[in-house]
A and B are shown apart, each in its own frame.
Chain A
Amino acid sequence: MIRTEELLLNVGPQHPSTHGVFRIVVKLDGEVIKEATPVMGYLHRGTEKLAENLNYTQIIPYTDRMDYVSAMTNNYVLVHAVEKMMQLEIPERAEFLRLIVMELQRVASHLVWWGTYLLDIGAMSPFLYAFRDREIIIDLFNELCGARLTYNYMRVGGVKWDAPEGWIDKVREFIPYMRKKMEEYDRLVSGNEIFLTRIKGVGTYDAQTAIDFGLSGANLRCTGVNWDIRKNEPYSLYDRFEFDVPLGTNGDCYDRYFIRMEELRQSLRILEQAIEQFPKDGEIMGKVPRVIRPPAGEIYARIESPRGEIGCYIVSKGKAEPYRLKFRRPSFVNLQILPKLLVGETMTNLITILGGVDIVVGEVDC
């Protein structure tokens, strides 16, 4: 029997595998984790407090900076909440544009996850491929709204910019391109024996635990729970399109990986149908009062972001600024299960499991 000594190891906050400024203190016995304590708040900017002194349109750029890998869905959850409160009608063209950018964003976000996850595990080249293809989407967004990451694209009642000429065609061309690249990705990584050994049976939990911890997105669906807000409580125009919700069975990193890969394909499927049905012309802004004052009351709106259920709880007192604004951030909630998953795992699996949860620290801290 080898005598081992307990060691307190500090991972982060500046460590590339923590995807931002996230810190975790692990108690190690040899190479086995005895206890893990996440420490957060390094990126806390007080968005919710700031929002109390801003009007609703001014808050939109702040949402860009929460989950900066998926700013479009963040934009949407805020404007969606306000629109629901005011019972506004959104022109069809605007809603189509929103849906298209949200699905493009899901593809871009999953690509970032795919690239960085493999980079964490030790494969360098997939990262380069993923960022090469994500760049096309970012260029599309840049053309649409003049920003690469923080778009500030949506408004209460519609969108800020109409699609420039030929933009829709570019999205149409992107779909078959991305499909071909997906095959390439699968050939490169998905069947790799070493990679599969690293993720199979790692970080396993069952459906009961997932629900108890309030997990959402791929983290919940990997246990076989059929829960996708796009299907369950259709918002935007999702009820008009055909797509499947991929489900796992084992609840391990392997299932999470393949669910996200399949979600990429399903997003392309939605995009294809949306481009087909895209209205030729129409308004991009609905009839919205000049000063947005939702009626007094409260609302909790939620949508399916690439990371899970992102929600927005607004308490309004009928003023132009929200009285209280709270975001339910999927990364924050999903991360809670981490200390439980890590106990008994090795240090190498810490990286695999943390990457598999798919967090963005901007959203964890908000």
Chain B
Amino acid sequence: MSDEQEVKRERKIMTPEEREAKIKAAAEARAAREAAKAQAGDAEASTEDAAAEGTAAEAKPERKILTDEEKEAKVKAAAEARAARAKAKEEAEAAAAEAAPKEPSYNQPRLDRAIEILKTKVAVDAVEESYINENNSHLPTLTIKGEHWYTCAELLKHDEAFQCDYLRNVSGADHETHMEVVYHMVSISTQHEYCIHVKTDREQPSVASVTPIWQTANWNEREIYDLLGIAFPGHPDLRRIMMSDDWVGHPLRKDYVPLDSEV
């Protein structure tokens, strides 16, 4: 999640204030680096003095051999410089984030409203997570609890606020820790789009079928059942659709082992 945020932040077009803050932070970082370098330089200079003293009696060696003390000093200086750099970078990032708190997406109000409706009309804990998928045309994305999914789906199709009558796509995914069914729906009249995730347990995967609500879910759910092994209670005809009826296992699962290793 934090990776994602970082990437998003980097990609955002900078406002003038943001740029200024970045420049300032960079300047600070530069200063910090220079200070660290100067410190390291001091350390080196002092060791050189010591070396000069130590080798006064002997012939001056061509290449200076570092004493333990010297080494330690160098390592310390380098560590300090590294720490200073890291701190400067952190500060720069913090400054950038502070200067321009991420502007909420234009779809944020719609997402908030959707959550509110689902919470009041279905259940308080119906929505587990939600975010705006910015790369995907700011798509409002919600994760809905499995036990409330069917009621939510009915609401999504029939409620005045949603009217998502067109279910574009149903996909399943095996996330190794859990299974997930993903619905992309849109309202033909308002063109508002939503993406719904429904998580399910990996050992006994099961998600309520929405075929009674959207006919188009029928074959899509059969395909997911066939390839991922997710059961859809309430489906009128849950059979394999792609693989043959006597196939063993569900090929799109991450732990799937083909029966015939030659294939």
Q: Is the CB of A300 within 8 A of B215?
A: no
| Contact pick for B168, options A40, A212, A309, A337, CB 8 Å | A309
- Measured between alpha carbons, how far is A296 from B5 in the docked complex, in Å? 10
On whether A41 and B171 interact (CB within 8 A), knowing A300-B184, A336-B218, the answer reads no
Q: Is A318 an interface residue (CB 8 A)?
A: yes
Q: Is A297 an interface residue (CB 8 A)?
A: yes
Q: Is B100 an interface residue (CB 8 A)?
A: no
Q: Is A84 an interface residue (CB 8 A)?
A: yes
Cβ–Cβ < 8 Å partners of B231 in chain A = none
Q: Is A299 an interface residue (CB 8 A)?
A: yes
Q: Is the CB of A300 within 8 A of B242?
A: no
Give the segment of B21-29, B76-84, B113-121, B132-140 that binds chain A: B132-140
Please encode chain A, from 44 to 56, with 1 for each CB lying within 8 Å of some chain B CB and 0 for all others: 1010110000000
- Measured between alpha carbons, how far is A366 from B171 in the docked complex, in Å? 14
Q: Is the CB of B7 within 8 A of A46?
A: no
Give the shortest distance, in Å, between B1 (CB) and chain A (any CB): 9
Q: Is the CB of B191 within 8 A of A232?
A: yes
- Measured between alpha carbons, how far is A311 from B220 in the docked complex, in Å? 13
Q: Is the CB of B216 within 8 A of A225?
A: no
Q: Is the CB of A300 within 8 A of B169?
A: yes
Give the segment of A131-139, A174-182, A326-334 that binds chain B: A326-334
Q: Is the CB of A295 within 8 A of B136?
A: no
Q: Is the CB of A214 within 8 A of B166?
A: yes
Q: Is the CB of A44 within 8 A of B243?
A: yes
Give the shortest distance, in Å, between A323 (CB) and chain B (any CB): 8
Q: Is the CB of B169 within 8 A of A313?
A: yes
Q: Is the CB of A315 within 8 A of B173?
A: yes
Q: Is the CB of A225 within 8 A of B11?
A: no
Q: Is B219 an interface residue (CB 8 A)?
A: yes
Cβ–Cβ < 8 Å partners of A233 in chain B = 137
- Measured between alpha carbons, how far is A209 from B252 in the docked complex, in Å? 31
- Measured between alpha carbons, how far is A232 from B173 in the docked complex, in Å? 28
| Contact pick for B242, options A44, A213, A297, A298, CB 8 Å | A44
On whether A48 and B136 interact (CB within 8 A), knowing A213-B215, A213-B216, the answer reads no
On whether A300 and B195 interact (CB within 8 A), knowing A318-B3, A324-B174, the answer reads yes
Give the shortest distance, in Å, between A50 (CB) and chain B (any CB): 10
Q: Is the CB of B136 within 8 A of A300?
A: yes
User: Which A residues from 129 to 165 make CB contacts under 8 A with B?
Assistant: none
Q: Is the CB of A328 within 8 A of B169?
A: yes
Q: Is the CB of A297 within 8 A of B133?
A: yes
| Contact pick for B184, options A313, A315, A332, CB 8 Å | A313
Cβ–Cβ < 8 Å partners of B167 in chain A = 214
Q: Is the CB of B214 within 8 A of A296?
A: no
Q: For the complex, would chain A's binding face be called helix, strand, loop or mixed by DSSP majority?
A: mixed
Q: Is the CB of B184 within 8 A of A295?
A: no
User: Which B residues from 1 to 46 make CB contacts under 8 A with A?
Assistant: 3-4, 7, 11
On whether A214 and B215 interact (CB within 8 A), knowing A41-B244, A365-B242, the answer reads yes
Interface residues in B, total, Cβ within 8 A: 38
On whether A332 and B169 interact (CB within 8 A), knowing A49-B251, A232-B191, A313-B184, the answer reads no
Please encode chain B, from 51 to 70, with 1 for each CB lying within 8 Å of some chain A CB and 0 for all others: 00000000000000000000
Which residue of chain B lies nearest to A309 when distances are taken between CB atoms in the complex?
B168
Interface residues in A, total, Cβ within 8 A: 42
Q: Is the CB of B168 within 8 A of A311?
A: yes
Give the shortest distance, in Å, between A238 (CB) and chain B (any CB): 15
Q: Is A85 an interface residue (CB 8 A)?
A: yes
Cβ–Cβ < 8 Å partners of B166 in chain A = 211, 214
Q: Is the CB of A311 within 8 A of B169?
A: yes
Q: Is B165 an interface residue (CB 8 A)?
A: yes
Cβ–Cβ < 8 Å partners of A211 in chain B = 165-166, 188
- Measured between alpha carbons, how far is A336 from B174 in the docked complex, in Å? 25
Which residue of chain B lies nearest to A227 when distances are taken between CB atoms in the complex?
B188
Q: Is the CB of B195 within 8 A of A85?
A: no
Q: Is A110 an interface residue (CB 8 A)?
A: no
Q: Which of B3, B137, B139, B171 has the most CB of A within 10 A?
A: B171
Cβ–Cβ < 8 Å partners of A366 in chain B = 242
Q: Is the CB of B214 within 8 A of A313?
A: no
Which residue of chain A lies nearest to B243 when distances are taken between CB atoms in the complex?
A41
User: Which B residues from 208 to 249 make CB contacts under 8 A with A?
Assistant: 214-216, 218-220, 223, 227, 240-244
Q: Is A302 an interface residue (CB 8 A)?
A: yes
Cβ–Cβ < 8 Å partners of A337 in chain B = 215
Give the shortest distance, in Å, between A201 (CB) and chain B (any CB): 23
Cβ–Cβ < 8 Å partners of A85 in chain B = 135-136
Q: Is A14 an interface residue (CB 8 A)?
A: no
- Measured between alpha carbons, how far is A227 from B190 in the docked complex, in Å? 12
Q: Is A87 an interface residue (CB 8 A)?
A: yes
Q: Is the CB of A328 within 8 A of B168?
A: yes
Q: Is B182 an interface residue (CB 8 A)?
A: yes
Q: Is the CB of B214 within 8 A of A225?
A: no
Q: Is the CB of B135 within 8 A of A299?
A: yes
Give the shortest distance, in Å, between A364 (CB) and chain B (any CB): 10
Q: Is the CB of A333 within 8 A of B251?
A: no
- Measured between alpha carbons, how far is A326 from B242 in the docked complex, in Å? 14
Give the shortest distance, in Å, between B57 (CB) and chain A (any CB): 58
Cβ–Cβ < 8 Å partners of B7 in chain A = 295-296
User: What 8 pairs between A and B have smallest CB-CB spacing?
Assistant: A214-B216, A326-B171, A328-B169, A44-B242, A324-B173, A41-B242, A295-B7, A299-B136
What would 9 A/B residue contacts be, using CB atoms closer than 8 Å? A212-B165, A212-B214, A212-B215, A302-B168, A324-B252, A326-B172, A333-B216, A336-B215, A366-B242
Given A84-B135, A302-B168, 6 more A-B residue pairs with CB atoms under 8 Å apart are A49-B227, A85-B135, A87-B11, A300-B168, A318-B3, A336-B219
Residues of A bordering B, CB below 8 Å: 40-41, 44, 46, 48-49, 84-85, 87, 209, 211-214, 225, 227, 232-233, 295-302, 309, 311, 313, 315, 318, 323-324, 326, 328, 332-333, 335-337, 365-366
